[in-house]
A and B are shown apart, each in its own frame.
Chain A
Amino acid sequence: MTETAAAAAAPFTLERRRARRRAAWRRRRLVLLLMAPWLIGFSAFFGYPLVMSVYLSFTHYDLLSSPKWIGLANYKYLFRDDPQVGPAVKNTLWLIGIMVPLQVLFAFGVALMLARAKRGVGFFRTIFYLPALAPPVAATMAFVYLLNPATGPVNIILEKLGISGPLWFQSPQWSKPSLTLLSLWGVGTLMIIFLAAILDAPRQLYESAELDGAGPFQRLRWVTLPTISPVILFSVVISVIAALQYFTQAYVAANIAAGQASQAGDQTVNNLGYPEGSTLFYPVLLYEQGFKFFNMGYASALTVLLLAVAFTITVLIIRHSRRWVHYAGAVK
């Protein structure tokens, strides 16, 4: 009897197991199907280019003939011989060290003011956000025009006030500060993120702090900052990554300031980095090598290094952030 029952139960269990497996497979298939658009997009536009960039970085590739394997030669040239890499790295570090903190501080400051505004809130929020909508090329052209040392309104006004204005985009000392001014003007997106975080901070915390006698600065230091610290971390990370990829504004400003705007596409004229290489940021160098000199193998090596550096910096910031970022509801 027991044997018969066991014999009857065995195919039944097997059948159930099979059915469960089939259901699991169907579920997996559905998940895969739903994820397919993302997976295809990720593989085609991220995975494939990434793998190809790594491969091409070990080749000599002029975009026209097939890549030729040359081992580490591109990396040797990058780290040992290329005289443009050093200045490009320094210029990019300047952006990370000076432009990014200023952007974050400025956006935070504006957001704080807007959070406190009592009247015309909508108007001011719009005014401060509006520049972020300007296309980078148009905004850069406008700034180069405004800051033209000879004909620009800024220097004309400064001259009337008895101040000899700087050469702005024409001077290696002032070109990066000029680009920084441009970036501060267009800081609207960061400002909106900060504003949302500040307005989202729990009221009761401020009320308790006030009851404990905390002044405005103490409330900012001990309530606002810890509450919005995840947003600060996010802003710092995306700003650093944007600085590592800083290209459009530098490309446009250099070409217009050098006075060759009409020939920007003409490859006999090379204004990248104007003036005196002060705006030759790492991505600009990468573009120059890949698309101006058709040296795509070497440009790929530059890309791989950029990826490694961006990854390392992001990891360092996130690790360091554990000391100062507070997540509401996080279990310690």
Chain B
Amino acid sequence: MRRAVIAAVVLVGVAAAIVGGTARSSAHAGTKVDTITVWVGWSARELKAFKSIAAEYDKNHPDVNIKVVGGINDDKITAAIRSGNVPDVVSSFTSANVGSYCKSGAWLDLKPFLSKDKLNVNVFPKTSQYYTQFNGKRCALPFLADVYGFYYNKKMFKAAGLKGPPKTMSQLTAYAKKLTKRGANGSIKVAGFNPFLGFYAGNAPDLSAYAPLFGAKYIDGSGKSQLSKDPAWGRLLRWQKGLVDFYGYKNLQKFNAGAADEFSASHAFEIGKLAMMIDGEWRVAFIKAEHPELDYGTAPAPVDDAHQNLYGAGYVNGTIIGIPKGVKHKDQAWALLKYLTFNAHPLALFSNAIRNVPTTKQSLNSPEIKPDPRFKTFLNIFSNPNSKTSPITAAGNAYGTLIQAFAVKWQAGHAGDLTKGLQKLDKQIDAQLKQAQAGGVP
């Protein structure tokens, strides 16, 4: 009897499974829905904006379901590719890693897709074309760019009798001194301009945001580091140290320790503790969301007095997006990628939402871009032919770590002779690049 009951239960179970399976497969055949997973680095407000862009695509494409996963970084991307459990479309904020992704084949070569659809990457500005390939192999496309420019507090400028933003580094120094307010013991109450390397994104200690403003070049024609040979680096570092010394290294350290996190609503510039700064275009959206009352202006960052023709240029970086190796829905992934990167409509909408710079020449002039003079500054910097990004090398951005190690010692007054220090740094970077290329770079 017991056996008969068990057999009946098993039979019913098997029958239900078969019926259910058939029902599911007929539903699948009817709607042809494939889930396309997209990994992005954005979170919170910016992730919400991206999800609405994806939702619009989803609505217009009944054959796919878009699933967006935010807060992704390169550790997660690498781990996913290694395990073979990959999303369909993947993006990274670290364009310096494009070398690893392209040369290893971890991100698919997009050339066949581009050729098939007769798409030309010349629709992107040269800088964005550069940081989405490695040694001619294109495994990524640009998806909005980050452009660094100058922010200044208009109210403080008015109070100090200053008319417009500074255009040269000597003007910046003079303005910074005028706008700084100190406490009784020399402590900094309001910093005119904080030059401390490591303080907020505009002072990235690898000097990346400053290099285009001095016309400083990292690598010579033969691929060797040339920091000691290009006098621009010396001028940059001396100018920076001069301003650090004006404030006092320890005073700046204390000011920085007391300043809020740069992605909080208590950002020093937003609450009036910093009169001028170099920062990315995204700050326009942050200020609008967090301190709409702030009276501020934007402009290209001041440049080296010896290279005033560079005014208007700035540092450019951006989000890279591609298709990982082992992708399950290659064609649908490419269709989405093509839409996000070549179509001016999503680029304009997303740019409006998070105020990052759209990456095709057409989208830069799109009528859909909401006019905003403060944001327009960054569109102009992006289009400037002298705007630059950091070199993409076989060692990723590891050379930046060596530059940083020297630069932070320099600003503390612990680096000794500048020329000798830069010569040593060149040797270190060359050795590092050699080590990174040991496996053979394609």
A-side residues, CB < 8 A to B, are: 59-65, 68, 70, 73-74, 77, 81-84, 148-151, 167, 170-172, 257-263, 265-271, 273-277, 288, 291, 293-295, 297-298
Contact = CB atoms under 8 A, between A and B. Distances in A.
B362 to A, nearest CB: 28
20 contacts: A62-B100, A64-B81, A68-B439, A70-B438, A70-B439, A74-B435, A74-B438, A84-B405, A150-B255, A167-B253, A167-B257, A170-B257, A172-B414, A259-B261, A260-B262, A262-B262, A266-B73, A275-B408, A293-B395, A294-B396
A265 B73 contact: yes
Nearest to A256: B261
Contact of B259 (A259, A270, A274, A297): A259
Interface stretch (B91-99, B154-162, B236-244, B289-297): B91-99
Given A63-B78, A149-B254, A276-B412, A73 B438 contact: yes
Given A259-B261, A276-B414, 17 more contacts: A64-B104, A65-B105, A148-B258, A150-B258, A170-B256, A171-B253, A260-B262, A263-B263, A266-B73, A267-B75, A267-B97, A270-B206, A270-B401, A275-B408, A293-B395, A294-B78, A295-B398
Contacts of A77: 431, 435
Interface string B175-199: 0000000000000000000000011
Contacts of A268: 93-94, 96, 204, 317, 397
A83 B428 contact: yes
A170 B251 CA distance: 12
B68 to A, nearest CB: 18
A172 B414 CA distance: 11
A258 B196 CA distance: 11
Given A149-B253, A298-B435, A64 B258 contact: no
Contact of A259 (B254, B262, B317, B436): B262
A62 B405 contact: no
Interface in B76-119: 78, 81-82, 93-94, 96-97, 100-101, 103-106
A162 B262 CA distance: 32
Nearest to B82: A63
A244 B396 CA distance: 28
B404 interface: yes
Given A60-B438, A149-B253, A268-B204, A65 B258 contact: no
Contacts of B96: 267-268
A77 B427 CA distance: 13
Contacts of B395: 293, 295
A258 B250 contact: no
Contacts of A148: 257-258
Contacts of B81: 64
Contacts of A266: 41, 73, 93-94
B409 interface: yes
B440 interface: yes
A165 to B, nearest CB: 10
B74 interface: yes
B121 interface: no
Given A64-B100, A81-B431, A167-B254, A259 B73 contact: no
Contacts of A61: 439
B402 interface: yes
B409 A276 contact: yes
A259 to B, nearest CB: 6
B234 interface: no
B272 interface: no
A65 B82 CA distance: 9
Given A73-B435, A259-B256, A294 B428 contact: no
Contact of B405 (A70, A170, A259, A277): A277
Given A81-B435, A151-B258, A293 B250 contact: no
A271 to B, nearest CB: 8
B70 interface: no
Interface in B373-408: 395-398, 400-402, 404-405, 408
A68 B438 CA distance: 9
Contacts of A68: 439-440
Q: Which of A70, A170, A294 has the most CB of B within 10 A?
A: A294
Q: Which of B94, B264, B428, B439 has the most CB of A within 10 A?
A: B439
B438 A81 contact: no
Contacts of A149: 253-254, 257
A68 B394 CA distance: 15
Contacts of A275: 408
A173 B263 CA distance: 29
A64 B134 CA distance: 15
B101 A64 contact: yes
Nearest to B409: A276
Nearest to A280: B405
B106 A64 contact: yes
A282 to B, nearest CB: 16
Nearest to B75: A291
Contacts of B439: 59-62, 68, 70, 297
A268 B96 CA distance: 8
A260 B203 CA distance: 12
The 5 tightest CB contacts between A and B, nearest first, are A60-B439, A150-B258, A64-B104, A65-B104, A81-B431
Contacts of A261: 261
A150 B97 CA distance: 36
Nearest to B441: A60
Q: Which of A268, A273, A291, A293 has the most CB of B within 10 A?
A: A268
Contacts of B253: 149, 167, 170-171
B184 to A, nearest CB: 12
A259 B101 CA distance: 29
A210 B74 CA distance: 66
Contacts of B404: 270
A84 B41 CA distance: 30
Nearest to A288: B401
Contacts of A257: 257
Interface string B30-65: 000000000001000000000000000000000000
Given A84-B405, A167-B253, A274-B198, A267 B258 contact: no
A211 to B, nearest CB: 59
B431 A258 contact: no
Interface in B299-329: 317
Contact of B263 (A170, A262, A297): A262
Contacts of A262: 261-264
Interface string B197-215: 0111100111000000000
A274 B439 CA distance: 31
Given A259-B259, A293-B396, A293-B398, A65 B103 contact: yes
Contacts of A82: 431-432, 435
B111 to A, nearest CB: 18
Contacts of B256: 170, 259
